[in-house]
Structure 1
Amino acid sequence: MKTEFISLLTDIRKLLGWLPAPVASVLMLCAAGLMAEILSRIITKLVLRIPGQKRGAFVRSFTLAMQRPARIMLVIIFVGTALPASGFSYATRQATGHGLLVLFVLMLGYAAIVAMRILSDAYLTRINGKDDRDDILSRTHMTQVRVLRRMADILVGLLTVGSALMTFESVREYGLSLFASAGAASVVVGLAARPLLTNLIAGMQIAMTQPIRMEDLIIINGDWAWVEEINATYVVLRVWDWRRHIVPISYFLENPFQNWTHNSAALIGVVFLHVDFHAPMDRIRARLNDIVRSTALWDGKVFDVQVSDCSAQVMTIRIIASARTALQSWDLRCEIREKIIVFLRDECPEALPRERMAHVTSLAGQDVLTTTGIVSPLVDRPPPGSYTGPGSAPPPSVS
């Protein structure tokens, strides 16, 4: 088949013999590329006609995503095969063939990256398609796939560029000399790339150990933040007010932080209520029970009301209620506060906290508080005129 292909191209070049030789050779190579293009389009149309809802749909989407790199590689193969019949000089054929080889290696690496992304996206789509309230499993797979995919992209990119450069004789010799002195070179490169390597290794550890996942709710610098994106060297955190924290990925292995959705998204919210000692606990407890059980934010698992503390002025009631997510827990606590405050204001005003002042009499039987204000204690002072100055006797001590 190769011989027949070259013979066909040779006949095409002979038909173009009335043109200058370089032009005829270029047109012949263009004809080879055009043949590859037509063949690629025919194969693509045939593959896109494969029936099926699941596997057929995947094959069709995979073909559409891979058609560009596959088409370019097929053109490179056809043009490279046609080079011996082009009529170019040996040096020109060598240079053109080397350029085509470099381009083929780069396109092969690009095709590998595209294929990995298509396969990983298809896997994530299948995982996310499951109807499950607790999405811990899907977020775990999402984190692992995305982090490992980015690292695979970096690794494939480095191998592709390295392979393309190694096709050059000068670069190959330089690489061998570096390999011979790998001891000193590895120390220098390791010191220079220490932050990058630290974050890359941390990314692999996070993908395996899962201290954080995609869309985990964590507390950092006192802010609620959701894990929006995990890259190879940094993590993007989305704060509730739409700010973004850009944090090195090694931070999550070297510093403590709170992860509110590590094992489950459910949380127990706490509300503290300060009331007077005259507060009717039975009525308040019954009203809180009605409030919590009537809302859809409560998950039906945990609810309790207790007097957790008291001071000289008020007693503290602690209300705990569980919710499915952190946001629902926040909304549930706000709803409890709003409704119980309205209940205390309208139906139990005696439960509202107040300041107390006691009327206490002194030991001498005189009121400390009078209608005119506070009376100071009696003081035994000397009679007026008995102390005239520094030369006189000191005044008597105050009793």
Structure 2
Amino acid sequence: MSGSWMRIVVALGVAALVFGLFLAVEYVLRRVLRRLGQRATLLGELAEYIHRPLRWFGAMVVLRITVLVALPTGSWRAVTSHLLTLALIGTGAWLLAGVLTAIEQTMLTRWRVDVADNRHARRMQTQIRLVRRVIVAAVAVLALGAMLMTFPGLRTAGTSLLASAGVIGAIAALAAQSLLGNVFAGLQIAFSDAIRLDDVVIVENEWGRVEDITLTYLVVHLWDDRRLVIPTAQFMSQPFENWTRRDAALLGTVELDVDWTMPVDEMRDELRRILESTDLWDGRVSVLQVTDATHTLVRVRALVSAVDAPTLWDLRCLVRERLVHWVRGKHPYAVPRLRAEQVPSTPARPVEEPTPDHDARVFGDSVDGLVREHAFNGPRKT
């Protein structure tokens, strides 16, 4: 075995030993951080999110040093060293992203959303998540730029590209217009407080809960377990309903068409009894009103309240079901029905010319009718 190969074998053995010691130290450090994480949340999150990228980063450092020391000067050394440099930059960016994720998770634990009044916590979680994603995206771009700068050909080509920077900038701006629009819309969502994670919204005629917000799109978990994915720019450019922006409590209506014979006062008392018998009602609003009376029907509207949208839906269904049962059981005569009256035929009589009636004309000869006619048609011609 030649001396160069012997040096390579010895260097690889030393590298394996050094990396083994590094793994042992990393294992002990992770255990210590997890123990200390019971008091300091950040240390526990660091132990959870950086141990994998830290191992790879350490391996790349050891291999990079081994190549510089052991491999003889030549093309293989240059290529291998370059590849390890790229891997070192990539794993370093991964390690930094892990640190940022650990900081994000630490901050999120301070703002809990599993409490009754969680509006401020959801706002902070939305901002923290989006800011972390912006920083991670910036780190990835910088890492990619650093990788490209390691290629001498690209550095040389960059000089000539700067001469046409205006054209390239225009093309890049046109190509990235949609992407940048979504990114800025994502930042607007994060800091405008218009919408937060877990907000209940109606968008695109769909009702659901905001499940995730990224820099470029927003995911709404619909009531039937579908996911509606909307670009952030499109979401912020159209109206939407936010049912939980200030408070989750809502009002809802239940409408019934009944006969004119329905005793409304008794129905109002029954609504109160129904609401007081269920824990779906939050005790705020119990109103029953006659909102319309046309032809053979009377429309009755019950206005009720609940702590949030899902509870309100169940409460409305419960009120509707029990009111229908009460009407059928207690007042069956008030169920909507179609009346028919048989009129006996009468002999025809001569038709007399009707006498003028000012109350039968909107634009007529009365004072008010003449004023209205003048307003719409101008003065009457004589």
TM-score, normalisation: structure 1:
0.79
Secondary structure at the residue paired with 1:214?
A: coil
Paired position in structure 2 for 1:101? 85
Q: Pick from 158, 173, 187 the counterpart of residue 204 of structure 1.
A: 187
CA contact (8 A) 2:42 2:102 kept: no
CA contact (8 A) 1:44 1:63 kept: no
Paired position in structure 1 for 2:142? 159
Paired position in structure 1 for 2:219? 236
Paired position in structure 2 for 1:77? 61
Amino acid at match of 1:259: N
Paired position in structure 2 for 1:191? 174
Could you tell me which runs of 5 or more consecutive residues in structure 2 were left unpaired when the two chains were aligned: 351-382
Q: Deviations over 1:125-166 (max 9, x none)?
A: 3322x6521322232223222233333332211111111111
- Distance across 2 between alignment mates of 1:46 and 1:114: 16
Q: Deviations over 1:37-86 (max 9, x none)?
A: 31342243145135446335642441243122222323333344445542
Paired position in structure 2 for 1:304? 287
Amino acid at match of 2:319: I
CA contact (8 A) 2:36 2:43 kept: no
CA contact (8 A) 1:143 1:213 kept: yes
1:326 aligns with 2:297: no
Q: Deviations over 1:227-259 (max 9, x none)?
A: 222222222222222222222111122111222
Q: Taking structure 1 as reference, are residues 329 and 84 closer, same or farther at Cα in structure 2, changes over 3 Å only?
A: closer
Structure 1 position 291, deviation (Å): 0.5
Paired position in structure 2 for 1:11? none
- Distance across 2 between alignment mates of 1:325 and 1:168: 58
1:215 aligns with 2:198: yes
Secondary structure at the residue paired with 1:49?
A: helix
Paired position in structure 2 for 1:279? 262
CA contact (8 A) 1:223 1:239 kept: yes
CA contact (8 A) 1:48 1:60 kept: no
Secondary structure at the residue paired with 2:50?
A: helix
CA contact (8 A) 1:80 1:100 kept: yes
Secondary structure at the residue paired with 1:261?
A: coil
Measured on the aligned residues, the alpha-carbon RMSD in Å equals 2.6
- Distance across 1 between alignment mates of 2:177 and 2:10: 52
Secondary structure at the residue paired with 2:89?
A: helix
1:343 aligns with 2:326: yes
- Distance across 2 between alignment mates of 1:169 and 1:243: 50
CA contact (8 A) 1:143 1:214 kept: yes
Paired position in structure 1 for 2:237? 254
Structure 1 position 338, deviation (Å): 0.9
Paired position in structure 1 for 2:271? 288
Q: Taking structure 1 as reference, are residues 207 and 61 closer, same or farther at Cα in structure 2, changes over 3 Å only?
A: closer
Secondary structure at the residue paired with 2:218?
A: strand
Paired position in structure 1 for 2:362? none
Q: Deviations over 1:264-287 (max 9, x none)?
A: 221101111222222222211111
CA contact (8 A) 1:236 1:246 kept: yes
- Distance across 2 between alignment mates of 1:220 and 1:41: 53
Structure 1 position 107, deviation (Å): 0.9
Structure 1 position 205, deviation (Å): 1.2
Q: Could you tell me the percent identity over the aligned residues? A: 32
Q: Which has the larger radius of gyration?
A: 1
Q: Taking structure 1 as reference, are residues 376 and 186 closer, same or farther at Cα in structure 2, changes over 3 Å only?
A: farther
CA contact (8 A) 2:68 2:81 kept: no
CA contact (8 A) 1:269 1:322 kept: yes
- Distance across 2 between alignment mates of 1:222 and 1:341: 28
Structure 1 position 214, deviation (Å): 1.9
Matches within 5 A, 1:372-391: 375=345, 378=348
Q: Pick from 203, 211, 225 the counterpart of residue 208 of structure 2.
A: 225
CA contact (8 A) 2:274 2:322 kept: yes
CA contact (8 A) 1:109 1:160 kept: yes
Q: Taking structure 1 as reference, are residues 238 and 346 closer, same or farther at Cα in structure 2, changes over 3 Å only?
A: same
Structure 1 position 353, deviation (Å): 2.4
Structure 1 position 223, deviation (Å): 2.1
Q: Pick from 89, 95, 106 the counterpart of residue 111 of structure 1.
A: 95
Could you tell me which runs of 5 or more consecutive residues in structure 1 were left unpaired when the two chains were aligned: 1-17, 360-368, 381-399
User: How many residues align structurally?
Assistant: 349
Paired position in structure 2 for 1:66? 50
